[in-house]
Amino acid sequence: MLILRQTHTVKAKKSYGQHFLTNEHYAQRIADSLSADGGYTSLIEVGPGQGMLTKYLTDKGFDFKVVEADADMVVFLHRHFPGLHGRIIGADFLRIKLEEHFSGQVAIIGNFPYNISSQILIKAVDNRSLVPELVGMFQKEVAERVTAAPGSKAYGVISLLVQAWFHTEYLFSVSAGNFKPPPKVQSAVIRLQRRTEFPVAEVDEALFRLVVKTAFGQRRKMLRNTLKPLLPDADPMLEEPFFTRRPEQLSLAEFVDLVQRIKPRLRN
């Protein structure tokens, strides 16, 4: 394994949301959080920066590539990780097409830039047929939302959009002092593993997203109020006791059932 002494000749850039992990212990833990039998043959690291995590991934034995949008960091990686020759994708991860770089199932891992972390999650959801697993460092608040259960204050849109397709697990927290520069927030590592059966597969996915986002648009209000824009005026269904509940009280299965009930009654 290549052990690289961290240098800081290339500074973190605020425009890229960069905060370089400096603690070897956590880098090793993130790398070890990938499932040994996760159903993937390829691995992509998003935002490797100066390679703190990269060096713990190079011995995993997969078709391993890194994607880095910062041109200065790409130069740094070429200089310090010659073994990555031909495997560095100098591009914005959100813009690349995974199927153009990998022929099989690909896991995603990284100390993700916090300014695009939610978009990375949605990209994983949109590419779920190719992505069986994701392990990553997120802002702690985002990590808590993604893994939240019904009834909690953190439970919301991103919880449901991710949990519809992936099992989610909060692994561990990481304090700000383990980064340079230290972020103004706490961080956490989570793992997503693709479900074998998708509860949402039986409903219109676009409508599912619309219903979830509409319901949580005013999360403290009852469903009979938040869902009015989707239904005809004075729809009697809204008078049912079910619609006195608030969105954070509904499980994923209940949202799926709600979408099925709403679809034939949608406002024209």
Q: Do domains 14-196 and 201-265 have the same CATH topology?
A: no
pTM above 0.85, yes or no: yes
259: tokens are 């979408």
Give the pLDDT band of residue 2 (cuts 50, 70, 90). very low
- The CATH fold assigned to 14-196 is Rossmann fold (3.40.50)
Tens of pLDDT, residues 165-213: 999 999 999 999 999 889 999 999 999 999 999 999 989 999 999 999 9
Of the given ranges (9-13, 44-48, 123-127), which has the lowest mean pLDDT?
A: 9-13
- pLDDT band at 1; cut points 50, 70, 90: very low
Confidence of residue 4 (pLDDT cuts 50, 70, 90): very low
Beta bridge partners of 212: none
Specify the pLDDT at position 15. 62
Confidence grade of residue 37 (pLDDT, cut at 50, 70, 90)? confident
- Asked if residues 267 and 260 have their Cβ atoms less than 8 Å apart, the reply is no
Each domain of the chain, given as residue ranges in start order, spans 14-196, 201-265
List residues bridging with 189 in a β-sheet. Answer: 137, 172
The Cα 164–Cα 151 span in angstroms is 17
Q: How far apart are the first and last CA of the chain?
A: 61
pLDDT tens string 222-244: 999 999 999 999 899 999 999 99
Task: Look at the domain 201-265 and name its fold.
Answer: Helicase, Ruva Protein; domain 3 (1.10.8)
CA-nearest of 180, 189, 81 to 134 is 189
Please tell me the predicted confidence (pLDDT) of residue 267: 86
Task: Note the Cα 138 to chain centre separation in Å.
Answer: 8
pLDDT of residue 62: 81
Position 6 pLDDT exceeds 80: no
Model pLDDT for residues 67-91, shown as the tens digit of each residue: 999 999 999 999 999 999 999 999 9
